Chains A and B, each alone.
Chain A
Amino acid sequence: MKPRGAIQIAYLVLIYGFLYLPILVLIVYSFNDAKYSLEWRGVTWTWYRNLLDDPDLLQAALNSVLIAALSATVATGIGALAAVALYRYEFFGKPLLQGLIFVLMMTPDIVMGIALLILFASLSLPLGFWTLLLAHITFNIPFVVVTVLSRISGFDRHLLEAAKDLGATEFQTVRRIVLPLLMPAVAAGWLLSFTLSMDDVMVSFFVTGPTFEILPLKIYSMARLGVTPEINALCAMMLGATLILILVAQLLLLRGRS
C-alpha cells in the first residue's frame, strides 16, 4: 500500500477509535467485578442483576418503553399521513406546514422543551405521562415525515398512473401500490422514532413530573452523583437496545431502496 493510503486509513481508524473507544470502555467496565477500581477483576453479571432488582429502575424502564412505543406509533401515523399529503396534494397553507416541520426539526431541544413546558403550564396540564407523550410525539413527527417523504419522492410518478391504467381505483392504488412501497420507510420511521424517544433527555427534562420517571432522566440524575458500575451496566443496555433498533431500521431502508 502507498504510504499516503496508509496515512488515510490510519486517520479513519483514529476517528472511528475516538467514536467507539469510550463506548467500548463503558461496556467492558460494566462487566468488571470491582466496585470502584479500574483494575480488571474478572467478568461479573452483578451490576446487571442489581439493576433488575431495583423496582424503581424497572418502573422507569417500563415507562420509557411505553412512552417510546406509543409516541412512535402516533408520530408514525401522523408523519406518514403528512408525507403523503405533502407529496400528493396542493392545499392552502402548505408552505406554512412545510415551514413548521422544518422549524420543528431545527429547533434546539432545549427551546422545544421550554416551549412545550410553557404551553402545558398555560393550559394547566399537570406534568407527567400525558405531557411527556405529547412532547415525544411532537419531536418524532418530523423524522417520520422526512423518512417517508424521501421514499415517496423517489417513486416514479408514473407508478400510480400505471396502476390506474391497469384498472385500479384510488383506494386499490393506495392499498396495493402506495402502502407496500412505503412500508419499509414507515417501519424505519417508527424504529427511529422509538430510538429517539428512548434516548431523549433535553425535552423530557422539562415536560415530565415527579410522578412519571423515565430511564434517561434516571441515568442523568444518577450520573451527576458519579460513576458507578450499575450506571455502566444500564448505559450498556441502552446502547445495546439502540444498536439493535438502528441496525433493523437501516436494513429496512436499504431493502426498501433496492
Chain B
Amino acid sequence: MNEWVIELRNVSKAYAAHPVLRNVNLQVRAGEFLTLLGPSGCGKTTILRLLAGFEPADGGEILIGGQDMRTLPPEQRQVNTVFQSYALFPHLTVFENVAFGPRLKRIRGEALRDQVMEALRMVKLEDLAGRRPGQLSGGQQQRVAMARAVVNRPRVLLLDEPLSALDYKLRKAMQLELKQLQRRLGITFIFVTHDQEEALSMSDRVAVMNAGRIEQFGTPRQIYEAPENLFVARFVGEINNLPGRVVVAAPPRYDIRLHDRVVNLKSSRVFGIGDRVNLLIRPEDVRIWREWEGSAEERAALFPAMVEEVIYKGSTVDLALRLDSGDALSTTQFFNEDDQALMNLDFREGERVFVDWVHDWETILPHEE
C-alpha cells in the first residue's frame, strides 16, 4: 500500500496552447492539511479541478489512493470540493443541500437524517436546516458548503479559496474552525489560497506555486525561514534583498562583501569565489541601534543608515531605511517590555541609525534578477 493518498506525476495542462501546469509532481500524505499557495493564475485551482475530475489532464498521471484517475468521472471519485462561490443549490434547503450526496448513495429515512444532522452539528448549523441558502450570511453559507462536502466522508476534501469571500475577522475565526474540523475528521485537506498568512497558519505543508510550477514544497517553517528562491522568499511575507559577492569560500562558511563591508556567514549551499549572491533578511530580524546606543567601536561593525519613513502599526513600528550604500531596507520593531532601550520607539524621519541582523537567520541565494 502506498503512503500517499494523492500523487501527481508529471502532470501538465494547457488552455488553448497557454500552459497552466508544467510537469507538476506532488505527493500528499493521508490526513495532512496541504496548502497550494500562489498568485492568481499560477495553476493552483487547476490542480483542484484535475483532482475533482472536472477537467482531464493533458499529460502525466493522477493517482488517488494509488488508483489511476484518468477515466473516472467526478461523480465516482472519493473527493469532494468546497467551491469558492460555495455553489449551494439555491432551490434546496440547507438540509437538502447536505442530503444531496447521501441521497444519491440511496441513504434514506433515519440514517439520512442522522448523517445530515451530524454534519450540520459539526458546523453548528443544526438550527438552520430548514432555511434556503439565500437566507444565510456568507459565513453560514460557507459552513453549509463544508457540511455538504464532508457528509460524504471523502478521502480528500478540496477547498478552493473557501474563505476569500469573508471579511477579515470572520476569516480568522473560520481558519481556526477549519483546522480543528480537519483534525477531528482526519480527512486530507487540499486547500488553495493566495493569502500567505492563511497558508502558513493552517497547513502541515505548503506548496508555493508560480506560473504552473511548484517552486517550493515544505512545512510552513521551511518555506518562511529557508525559501529556496527569490520568488518564494518574496511571496511568503516581506523580505529585504541585499546584493553581495563571495570573497572567501570555506564551506559551510563564506565571506561575503556587501558594498564596503565583509561579513562572515554560514550557508548549506555551495558558492565559489566571485559568485554574486542575494542576502535575504526578514524585516523582523533586523536590529537597530540609535546614535546614543553602544560604543563607537561597536558601531563601526554596523551598517549606518537613515530613517526615511516611520509607520506606526499598533503592535509594531515599521521603518523604511536607506543604507549609506544606497540599498533600501525595511524593518519591523516590536514593542518589548523587557528591553528598556527599545521601549521607546519614537524614531524620527531623517534620523541616523545603525543596523545589523541576527546572524544565521538570513538566507543566501545565488543571484537572480
Contacts and interface: CB of A to CB of B under 8 A. Distances in A.
Interface of A: 156, 158-159, 161-169, 172, 176-177, 180-181, 258
A161 B100 contact: no
B52 interface: yes
Given A159-B87, A161-B87, A167 B101 contact: yes
B187 to A, nearest CB: 15
Given A158-B87, A167-B75, A258 B104 contact: no
Nearest 5 interchain pairs by C-beta:
A158-B87, A162-B87, A166-B101, A164-B74, A167-B104
Contacts of A167: 75-76, 101, 104-105, 152
Nearest to A160: B87
A16 B276 CA distance: 79
Contacts of B88: 162
A161 B52 contact: yes
A164 B76 CA distance: 9
Given A161-B81, A164-B54, A168-B75, 19 more contacts: A156-B85, A156-B87, A161-B52, A162-B148, A163-B89, A164-B73, A165-B52, A165-B74, A165-B80, A165-B81, A166-B104, A166-B152, A167-B101, A167-B104, A168-B100, A168-B104, A176-B100, A180-B91, A181-B89
B90 A181 contact: yes
16 contacts: A156-B83, A158-B84, A159-B87, A161-B52, A161-B83, A164-B73, A165-B52, A165-B75, A165-B149, A166-B100, A166-B152, A168-B100, A169-B75, A176-B100, A181-B89, A181-B91
Contacts of A258: 134
Contacts, number: 62
A59 B104 CA distance: 51
A159 B54 contact: no
B63 to A, nearest CB: 19
Nearest to A173: B75
Determine the main DSSP class of A at the interface with B. Answer: helix
Nearest to A179: B91
Contacts of B76: 167
B99 to A, nearest CB: 10
B74 A161 contact: yes
Interface of B: 52-54, 73-76, 79-81, 83-85, 87-91, 100-101, 104-105, 134, 148-149, 152
A147 to B, nearest CB: 17
B165 to A, nearest CB: 12
B152 A161 contact: no
Nearest to B49: A161
A258 B135 CA distance: 10
Contacts of B73: 164
Which interface residue of A164, A165, A168 has the most chain B CB atoms within 10 A? A165
Contacts of A158: 83-85, 87
A258 B133 CA distance: 10
A176 B91 CA distance: 10
A156 B81 CA distance: 15
A55 B101 CA distance: 58
A163 to B, nearest CB: 7
Nearest to B105: A167
B84 to A, nearest CB: 8
Nearest to A161: B54
A157 to B, nearest CB: 9
A237 to B, nearest CB: 36
Contact of A162 (B79, B81, B134): B81
A172 B54 contact: no
A163 B53 CA distance: 12
Given A167-B75, A167-B152, A162 B89 contact: yes
A256 to B, nearest CB: 9
B89 A164 contact: no
A156 B152 CA distance: 22
A162 B49 CA distance: 11
A172 B73 CA distance: 14
B139 to A, nearest CB: 18
A180 B93 CA distance: 13
Contacts of B74: 161, 164-165
Which interface residue of A162, A163, A177 has the most chain B CB atoms within 10 A? A162
B341 to A, nearest CB: 56
A181 B148 CA distance: 19
B104 A172 contact: yes
Contact of A164 (B75, B85, B91, B148): B75
Contacts of B52: 161, 165
Given A161-B52, A162-B83, A165-B81, A177 B89 contact: yes
A170 B89 CA distance: 16
Contacts of A177: 89
